Amino acid sequence: MKHVLITGGCGFIGSNFVRHTLEYFPDYRIVNLDKLTYAGNPGNLTDVEKNSNYRFVKGDIVDAALVQRIFAEEQIDTVIHFAAESHVDRSITGPAEFVQTNIMGTFNLLEAAREAWLANGKTGASKDTCRFLHVSTDEVYGSLGETGAFQETTPYDPRSPYSASKASSDHLVSAYFHTYGLPTLITNCSNNYGPYQFPEKLIPLVINNALQGKALPVYGDGKNVRDWLYVVDHCQAILTVLQKGRIGETYNIGGNSEKQNIEIVNLICDILDEKVGLLADGQNRRSLITYVKDRAGHDRRYAIDATKIRTELGWTPKVNFKDGMRKTVEWYLDHKAWIASVTDGSYREYYEKMYGNR
Ligand code: NAD
Ligand code: TYD
């Protein structure tokens, strides 16, 4: 049995990961530590709550006593660290929380793992079988021009408070491997999409607005490029790295699916027009597209070279972008109550601050 501490398991990727892992790996016990910020929703995991291999703990990764207690109580031998403040726009308007959770929280988890697993470790776990897997982002590498792709050796060049805080946490993880021999792994993944993503990120925001006939805010010229990966493919990549990755290494994860933002917005409009019909005024949903002021310091292009994880560990994405987008739009159509429950008063306040009454 593996005794796994998942942080941030009530968020978008974390909840998909918990569900997937409990379904396919009955020998994993999962303890999910989540603070339940605006982005965390225990309702994302109601279907697994009764699973005897699952336990939810509401709490903050910055709380050292709590994290130490969980390590001891649950004999934790594996950490998969998702918890973070994750939205670039929020990091621009309020960076403090990003420094606190993403940097201090990661530091705190590393310290707890060091204490538990290394020299006379308190849990008695063997360093050879323990793993600390840190889930990070391609945004740490900065912004690309028209060509090229991020490799694991690309120098870090973060440009938003979000990516700077993630870069900082990556460096701490790497330092704990080199300095203390903590058995760490780092993954740097491109943009994810799929079920349970909070509707402040591009894809769910556009689906939600397009369903309501509201304006679809496109930043700048809409030609910024991201590489997109279906969330379940990301979960499988993380499990592959956990089970087969070489300790101390970094693995880039990508979908080999670069798209301009405007292409994505157009695609969502077209899928919705087809599935639910045109707008009440007879127009198609592309008519809702509204170009708005660009994000400050907006990274132009991200692209991932995923050769290492493919050739060393045999992982490749299974879901192609068009199929993944259809599945995603269908999921949001089937889960309108979920959207309503997460877009409560606090989200509306944030939305009005960002976009006014649009
Ligand atoms: P998310 O914002 O949907 O979820 C974050 C979760 O962490 C929430 O459940 C939240 O309640 C929890 N959390 C926040 N602060 C906490 C704290 N101090 N203590 C405990 N829990 C806390 O994020 P996501 O999109 O699921 O991203 C998960 C991880 O993957 C992040 O580390 C992010 O940097 C990384 N990542 C995300 C993407 C993406 O496209 N979403 C791509 C690459 C990497
Ligand atoms: P986002 O989903 O916030 O992810 P990230 O910034 O981490 O890549 O944004 C994806 C892209 O979409 C990014 O280039 C910013 C752009 N974008 C918009 O054009 N409009 C929006 O309302 C949002 C939220 C993002």
Render pLDDT for 132-142 as a digit per residue (tens, 0 to 9).
999 999 999 99
In a domain, 344, yes or no: no
Q: What pLDDT shows up at residue 128?
A: 80
pLDDT at residue 355 greater than cutoff 90: no
Question: What distance in angstroms lies between residue 201's CA and the mean position of ligand 2's atoms?
Answer: 6
Q: What pLDDT shows up at residue 12?
A: 98
Ligand 1 contacts CB of residue 207 (under 6 A): no
Question: What is the span of the domain harbouring residue 91?
Answer: 2-194+228-253
In a domain, 206, yes or no: no
Which residues are annotated as catalytic?
A: 138-139, 162
Question: What distance in angstroms lies between residue 280's CA and the mean position of ligand 1's atoms?
Answer: 37
In a domain, 164, yes or no: yes
The pLDDT tens digits of the residues spanning 133-182 come to: 999 999 999 999 999 999 999 999 999 999 999 999 999 999 999 999 99
The pLDDT tens digits of the residues spanning 3-24 come to: 999 999 999 999 999 999 999 9
Question: What distance in angstroms lies between residue 303's CA and the mean position of ligand 1's atoms?
Answer: 21
Q: What pLDDT shows up at residue 125?
A: 60
Class of residue 335 by CB neighbours under 10 A (exposed 0-12, middle 13-18, buried 19+): middle
d(C-alpha 292, C-alpha 358), whole Å: 10
Task: Using alpha carbons, list the distances in angstroms from residue 351 to 91, 142, 199, 227, 354.
Answer: 15, 26, 10, 25, 5
Mean per-residue pLDDT, 62-76: 98
Res. 207 pLDDT band, cuts 50 70 90: very high
Q: What pLDDT shows up at residue 201?
A: 98
* DSSP assignment string, 135-187: EEEGGGG----SS--B-TTSPP---SHHHHHHHHHHHHHHHHHHHH---EEEE
In a domain, 352, yes or no: no
Q: Give the residue whose CA is nearest to atom 33 of ligand 1.
A: 86
The pLDDT tens digits of the residues spanning 242-282 come to: 999 999 999 999 999 999 999 999 999 999 999 999 999 99
Ligand nearest to the CA of 90: 2
In a domain, 138, yes or no: yes
In a domain, 130, yes or no: yes
Mean per-residue pLDDT, 309-331: 98
Q: Give the residue whose CA is nearest to atom 44 of ligand 1.
A: 137
Beta strands of the chain (E only): which ranges? 2-7, 28-34, 54-58, 78-81, 131-137, 184-189, 191-193, 216-219, 225-230, 250-253, 258-260, 289-292
d(C-alpha 298, C-alpha 149), whole Å: 18
Mean per-residue pLDDT, 43-54: 95
Count of domains for the chain: 1
Q: What pLDDT shows up at residue 352?
A: 77
Q: What pLDDT shows up at residue 121?
A: 58
In a domain, 332, yes or no: no
* Residue 238 token pair: 């993380």
Residue 347 and residue 200 in contact, taking contact as beta carbons nearer than 8 Å: yes
**Most informative mutation of 82, 101, 108 for ligand 1 (most atoms within 8 A of CB):** 82
Mean per-residue pLDDT, 215-223: 98
Task: Using alpha carbons, list the distances in angstroms from residue 140 to 13, 62, 120, 132, 160.
Answer: 18, 22, 35, 19, 9
Nearest one of 90, 43, 91, 40 to 61, comparing CA atoms: 40
In a domain, 76, yes or no: yes
Mean per-residue pLDDT, 350-355: 76
CATH of the domain at 100: 3.40.50.720
